């Protein structure tokens, strides 16, 4: 799977949008971008994934650049409960290689 790079940490004010960047410059055509988060040692929580097009669900939006070398996870109205480590993972969606490779992630701190 392609390697991803994320800033170590960032913060945002409660109620504002949180934009979390991720670089994946070596991504292949059959690799998806996945986002998970881990809130204080709980089990990782799936957020969203996408291939080429932008995606939105009840939790977040995922914006993928046209060249697919980077993406941004957007939490539209961050709350204190969104404070967590967010992992950007690039993963092949076909074939037998099913494991998720977690990096260090980005620590998001939402301040009151």
Partner 1 sequence: NAGVMQNPRHLVRRRGQEARLRCSPMKGHSHVYWYRQLPEEGLKFMVYLQKENIIDESGMPKERFSAEFPKEGPSILRIQQVVRGDSAAYFCASSPRTGTDTQYFGPGTRLTVL
**Interacting residues with partner 1 (CB under 8 A):** 34, 36, 38, 41-46, 49, 91-105
Choice between 53 and 94, CB closer to partner 1: 94
Choice between 21 and 44, CB closer to partner 1: 44
Q: Are 21 and 105 in contact (CB under 8 A)?
A: no
Choice between 95 and 112, CB closer to partner 1: 95
CA-based R_g, the chain, Å:
13
**Distance in Å from the first CA to the final CA of the chain:** 37
CB of 16 to partner 1, least distance (A): 28
CB of 6 to partner 1, least distance (A): 12
CB of 83 to partner 1, least distance (A): 18
DSSP 12-51: EETTS-EEEEEE-TT--TTEEEEEEEE-TTS--EEEEEES
CB of 59 to partner 1, least distance (A): 13
Choice between 53 and 96, CB closer to partner 1: 96
Q: HSE of 42 in the Cβ direction (CA atoms, 13 Å)? A: 14
């Amino acid at each position: 799977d392609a390697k991803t790079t994320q800033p170590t940490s960032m913060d945002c004010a409660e109620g504002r949008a949180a934009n979390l960047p991720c670089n994946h410059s070596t991504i292949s055509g059959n690799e998806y971008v996945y986002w998970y988060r881990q809130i204080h040692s709980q089990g990782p929580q799936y957020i969203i994934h996408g291939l080429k097009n932008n995606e939105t669900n009840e939790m977040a939006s995922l914006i993928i650049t046209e060249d697919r070398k980077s993406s941004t996870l957007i939490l539209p109205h961050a709350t204190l409960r969104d404070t967590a480590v967010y992992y950007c993972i690039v993963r092949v969606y076909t074939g037998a290689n099913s494991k998720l490779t977690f990096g260090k992630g980005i620590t998001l701190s939402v301040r009151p």
